[in-house]
Chains A and B, each alone.
Chain A
Amino acid sequence: MTPLVSTGKRIPDYLNAAYGLKSWLFTTDHKRIALLYMASVTMFFFLGGLMAVLIRLELVTPQGDLVEPDVYNRLFTMHGIIMVFFFLIPAIPATLGNFLIPIMIGAKDLAFPRINLGSWYVYNAGGLFTMYSILNGGVDTGWTFYTPFSTTFSNTYVLATGLGIFITGFSSIMTGLNFLVTIHRMRAPGLTWFRLPLFVWAHYATSIIMLLGTPVLAITVLLVALERSFHIGVFDPAYGGDPILFQHLFWFYSHPAVYIMVLPAMGVISELITCFARKRVFGYRFIAYSSVAIAVLGFLVWGHHMFTTGQSIYASTIFSVLSMLVAVPSAIKVFNWTATLYRGSISWDTPMLYALGFIGLFTIGGLTGVMLATLGIDIHVHDTYFVVAHFHYIMVGGTIMGYLGGIHFWWPKITGRMYPAFWSKFAAITIFIGFNLTFFPQFILGYMGMPRRYHAYPDEWQVLNVMSSAGASILGVGYLIPMIYLAWSMRYGPRAEANPWGAVGLEWEIQSPPTAHNFETEPVVDKEAYAYTAEQGYVPPTKEAEFV
């Protein structure tokens, strides 16, 4: 790389390097593309959230009195599809990952900047098909598209939505490929694998899943389309097919997809915990390897979604054991974050509130996952609100807490502006309370037997449902508050310094916001990640503490 000549002047940042709509729509700057993605995923988040509001409003009363049953089916289906494929999967990798990975490894951009921009267009093209489907009445199959309902009986927009997901999957593949090549080939001199920030390790593992899993989803959706249109006999028993085969293929991608959602959030949490505990992370290599272990083991557990189908009991037993095994690397992370906090110099800034919220909620989600991996318990609570609560603790309690924590942590770097501390802490606490009030009652409802995807229920479950809907209102307000103050901050927030948190890492050594090419001269890395010193508030443990 040719070093840029330092003139001593402040070089225009990436936001001011060019102006006009064209400069955004044709940009190949990874930071601008990250912001384009941020706008898109935020739009889909609120669209999916709107459907959640209608679902929770319907469930305030036991009678199905707000929407018709078939409308309710479409609401929960579209909520799931939008949130999973158009928000949770791209949320962290395509925004924070896109913005930060090149900077964290000391590069000017991703390996394939045009593919990066192309991925955003592909993502939105998929979104357009899905929006077309919504505007025409949506889909009622559930986000899982189970056959034979999706192939034979549903008379809704299965093909258009499936095509939307098929197309959007390619955007995921493009992002994953870009990250893998970038991390392998563009690291700054001295930045060895075990000096990489754990955020980068997490995205490396995520990219493996994106590349290996997404094509299987594409093939599966394609087979559904062919079965529905031409009755080719892959899934339909009437033509010699096997409907359980669909579930195998679907979950081969869709279970690892959970790790596409949560692994990047885990990467965010590692950065936040070390910064706000002012400590080197406990067990760096274990956390790094556990990301890869989760990515690999995550491919071996899909059958736990199928314990109550006609799946062989022998296969179910193996899937049960393997599902419990994947809890080990997840637990390693939780224990290591907790150990990092131990005797750390902890500060309670907004990103840290989200990080601590993540650890608690993810642990509950993970432990209930171990319960669901147990064959007997799963048969009792299969397809009940227990499952709904479990995966929301992982996806919302994990991924969204990680996403918001990351946004608040790197917001000064991304925009060059600070946000109001009081309101951001207030929102973080509101979200934590609202989330638990929404989803914890659902564990109890599920255990009592309330099935998911029903728009009416017996009277005795109303109190818990009202609690859940009340919690959803608080959660909704919690999500709206950051929208307001972050939008305000972009124009009126106080200017941020290069390193407002006193964090370590290459991204904190450059100006806020960064210049178009990130670094004036190519950085050389000569120390490990998270090398916090006394100047940055690091308090070395006492002798006694080291031996406890």
Chain B
Amino acid sequence: MANHDHDTPHITGLGTYFAVFGALMVLTAATVFVAFQDLGMMNNVVALGIATLKAVLVLWFFMHLGHATTFTRVAMASTLFFFFLLLAFLFGDTLTRDLLDVPGRVIEL
């Protein structure tokens, strides 16, 4: 397996770090701006989308995932996969709790 993160360390330029920092600040401002707009249920979706984008920037540049070995990326992907499983099963419960037709239960749509 290639091991260039140990043998030949990649040096990211200072400009890149400042650019990423600037992007994170802009995205934070965007989060605040969107929080004051009434987008209905899309408010949460947009806020989480921006947060995910920020997390990717941090992982890719600040935590050097962009220059990591395939193995490190697979390790990262597996943690995301397990987090996805947590969300999938959790929403699998909460979104289907009212689907069963129980006599007397009022279903709110």
Please give the residue numbers on chain A whose beta carbons come within 8 Å of chain B beta carbons, in ascending order. 184, 211-212, 216, 242, 244-245, 248-249, 252, 299-300, 302-303, 310-315, 318-319
**How far is B97's CA from A313's CA once the two chains are assembled, in angstroms?**
7
16 chain-A/chain-B pairs, Cβ below 8 angstroms: A212-B78, A212-B79, A242-B94, A244-B93, A245-B94, A248-B86, A248-B90, A299-B85, A300-B85, A312-B93, A312-B95, A312-B96, A312-B100, A314-B92, A314-B96, A315-B89
CB neighbours of A248 from chain B (8 A)? 86, 89-90, 93
A211 CB contacts on chain B under 8 angstroms: 79
Per the bound structure, the CA–CA distance linking A212 and B99 in Å amounts to: 32
CA distance A314 to B92 in the complex (A): 8
In angstroms, Cα B95 to Cα A506, docked, is: 53
Q: In this assembly, does B82 line the interface, its C-beta being within 8 Å of a C-beta of chain A?
A: yes
In the complex, residue of chain A having the shortest beta-carbon distance to the beta carbon of B71: A184
Residues of B close to A318: CB separation below 8 A: 89, 92
Q: What does the 1/0 interface line of B61-76 toward A look like (CB < 8 Å)?
A: 0000000000100000
Do A314 and B79 touch across chains, with their CB atoms under 8 A apart? Answer: no
Pick the contact of A312 from B85, B86, B97 — CB < 8 Å? Answer: B97
- Name the A residues within 8 Å of B79 (CB-CB): 211-212
Whole-angstrom CA separation of A314 from B99 in the bound complex: 9
Contact B82 A299 (CB under 8 A): yes
Shortest 5 CB-CB distances between A and B: which pairs?
A: A315-B93, A312-B96, A312-B97, A314-B96, A312-B93
- B interface size (C-beta, 8 A): 16
Q: Bound complex: CA of A314 vs CA of B79, how far in Å?
A: 26
Whole-angstrom distance between the Cβ of B16 and the nearest chain A Cβ: 28
A461 to chain B, nearest CB (A): 34
B residues adjacent to A (C-beta < 8 A): 71, 78-79, 82, 85-86, 89-90, 92-97, 99-100
The CA of A299 and the CA of B71, in the complex, are separated in Å by: 22
* Residue numbers in A under 8 Å from B86 (CB-CB): 216, 248-249, 252
Residues of B within 8 A of A310 (CB): 97
In the complex, A252 Cα to B90 Cα: how many Å? Answer: 10
Q: Give me 9 other A-B pairs in contact (C-beta within 8 A), A212-B78, A300-B89, A315-B89 excluded.
A: A242-B94, A299-B85, A300-B85, A312-B92, A312-B95, A312-B96, A312-B97, A312-B100, A315-B93
Whole-angstrom distance between the alpha carbons of A212 and B81 in the complex?
10
Where chain B touches its partner, the secondary structure class is helix
The smallest C-beta distance from B107 to any residue of chain A, in angstroms, reads 13
A residues less than 8 Å from B92 (CB atoms): 312, 314-315, 318
Q: Are B89 and A303 in contact (CB under 8 A)?
A: yes
Q: Which residues of A contact B96 (CB under 8 A)?
A: 312, 314-315
In whole angstroms, what is the CA distance A303 to B82 when docked?
15
Q: Is the CB of A312 within 8 A of B99?
A: yes
Do A312 and B89 contact each other (CB < 8 Å), given the known contacts A212-B79, A212-B82, A299-B82?
no
Q: Which residues of A contact B82 (CB under 8 A)?
A: 212, 299
CB-defined contacts of A245 to chain B, threshold 8 Å: 90, 94
Q: What residue of chain B has the Cβ atom nearest to residue A301's Cβ?
A: B89
Cα(A449)–Cα(B4), bound, Å: 62
Q: Which residue of B lies closest to A322 (CB)?
A: B89
Contact (A303, B85) CB under 8 Å given A212-B79, A312-B99, A314-B99: no
Residues of B within 8 A of A314 (CB): 92, 96, 99-100
CA A315 to CA B87, docked complex, whole Å: 13
Which A residues lie within 8 Å of B71 (CB)?
184
Distance to closest chain B CB from A331 (angstroms): 23
Residues from chain B with Cβ under 8 Å of A319 in the complex: 89
Instruction: Report chain A residues within 8 Å CB of B85.
Output: 299-300
With both chains docked as a complex, state the minimum distance between the C-beta of B44 and any C-beta of chain A, in angstroms: 14
User: With the chains together, A248 CA to B97 CA distance in Å?
Assistant: 14
Q: In whole angstroms, what is the CA distance A134 to B82 when docked?
A: 35
B94 contacts across to A, CB distance below 8 A: 242, 245, 312
Chain A residues in 8 Å Cβ range of B93? 244, 248, 303, 311-312, 315
Q: How far is the CA of A319 from the CA of B90 in the complex (A)?
A: 11
Report yes or no: B100 in contact with A313, Cβ–Cβ below 8 A.
yes
Bound CA–CA A362/B39 (angstroms): 54
Chain B residues with CB under 8 A of A212: 78-79, 82
Nearest CB on A from B27, distance (A): 23
B76 to chain A, nearest CB (A): 12
- B100 contacts which chain A residues (CB < 8 A)? 312-314
A303 to B78, CA, bound (A): 21
Q: How far is the CB of A429 from chain B (nearest CB, A)?
A: 42
Would you give the shortest CB distance from A219 to chain B, in whole angstroms? 11
- List the A residue with the shortest CB-CB distance to B6: A185
Q: What is the distance, in angstroms, from A67's C-beta to the closest C-beta of chain B? A: 38
CB-based nearest B residue for A213: B82
A243 to B26, CA, bound (A): 36
Q: Give the Cβ gap from B67 to chain A, nearest Cβ, in Å.
A: 19
Q: Nearest Cβ distance between residue A317 and chain B, in whole angstroms?
A: 10
A164 shortest CB reach to chain B, Å: 24
Separation in Å of the B100 CB from the closest CB of chain A?
A: 5
Q: How far is the CB of A241 from the nearest CB of chain B, in Å?
A: 12
Most buried by A among B82, B94, B96: B82
Task: Collect the chain A residues with CB atoms within 8 Å of residue B89's CB.
Answer: 248, 300, 302-303, 315, 318-319
User: How distant is the Cα of A319 from the Cα of B97 in the complex, in angstroms?
Assistant: 14
Interface centre among A184, A302, A310, A313 (most CB of B within 10 A): A313
Task: Name the CB-closest residue of B to A252.
Answer: B86
Closest to A315 in B: B93
Measured between alpha carbons, how far is A299 from B97 in the docked complex, in Å? Answer: 21
The answer for the CA separation of A314 and B96 in the assembled complex, in Å, is 7
